[in-house]
Amino acid sequence: MPVTVPTAPAAQIAGYDALGQAELVRRGEVTAAELVDWAIERIDRVNPTLNAVVTPLYEAARADAARSRPGPFAAPFAGVPFLVKDLAMDVEGAPFTAGSRFLRGYVSDHDSELVRRHRRAGLVIVGKTNTPEFGTVGTCEPLRHGPTRNPWDPGRSTSGSSGGSAAAVAAGLVPMAHANDLAGSIRYPASACGLFGLKPTRARTPKGPDFGDVAGGWACEHAITRSVRDSAALLDATAGAAPGDPYPAPPPARRFLDEVGADPGRLRIAFSPRTADGSPPHPDCLAALDDAARLCEELGHELVEAQPPALAATGDAVQKVLSAVLAWTVLMWERRFGREVAEGDLEPLNAAYLRSGRHLPAAEYLAAVQTLQAHARKVAQFFQGDDDDVQGRADPAPGLRTAGFDAWLTPTLSTPPAPIGEITSTEQDPLRAARNGARTHAFPAVLANLTGNPAMSVPLWWNADGLPIGVHFLGRFGDEATLLRLAGQLEQARPWAARRPRLHA
Residues 432 and 164: beta-carbon distance below 8 Å? no
Residues 65 and 106: beta-carbon distance below 8 Å? no
**85, 199, 207, 320: the active-site residue:** 85
Pair type for strands 176-181 and 124-129? unpaired
Q: Pick from 320, 445, 324, 450: which is nearest to 375 by CA?
A: 450
CA angle 193, 196, 197 (to 5 degrees): 95
Residues 96 and 90: beta-carbon distance below 8 Å? yes
Question: Three-state secondary structure along 143-170?
Answer: CCCCCCCECCECCECCCCCCHHHHHHHH
156: left (phi over 0), alpha (psi -120 to 50) or beta: beta
Residues 408 and 379: beta-carbon distance below 8 Å? no
Q: How far apart are CA 278 and CA 27, in angstroms?
A: 54
Pair type for strands 407-411 and 468-475? antiparallel
Check if 185 is active-site.
Answer: yes
**157, 162, 165, 185: the active-site residue:** 185
Q: How many other β-carbons are positioned within 10 Å of the β-carbon of residue 426?
A: 11
Lateral strand order in the sheet of 124-129: 53-56, 124-129, 81-85, 176-181, 220-225, 196-199, 455-462, 468-475, 407-411, 268-271, 302-305
DSSP for residue 110: S
**100, 159, 161, 457: the active-site residue:** 161
**For 247-253, which contacts have Cβ atoms below 8 Å and span 24 or more sequence positions?**
247/203, 247/213, 247/217, 248/203, 249/200, 249/201, 249/202, 249/203, 249/204, 249/478, 250/201, 250/399, 250/477, 250/478, 252/397, 252/480, 252/481, 253/397, 253/398, 253/399, 253/481
Q: Helix, strand, coil proportions of the chain in percent (round to 5)? A: 40, 15, 50
Q: What is the DSSP string of 24-90?
A: HHHTTSS-HHHHHHHHHHHHHHHHHHH--EEEE-HHHHHHHHHT---STTS-TTTT-EEEEESSS--
Residues 371, 377, 381, 384, CA torsion sign: positive
Residues 455 and 475: beta-carbon distance below 8 Å? yes
Q: What's the length of the chain?
A: 505
CA angle 453, 457, 459 (to 5 degrees): 160
Find the distance separating the first CA and the last CA of the chain, reported in whole Å: 18
Which residues are identified as catalytic?
85, 161, 185
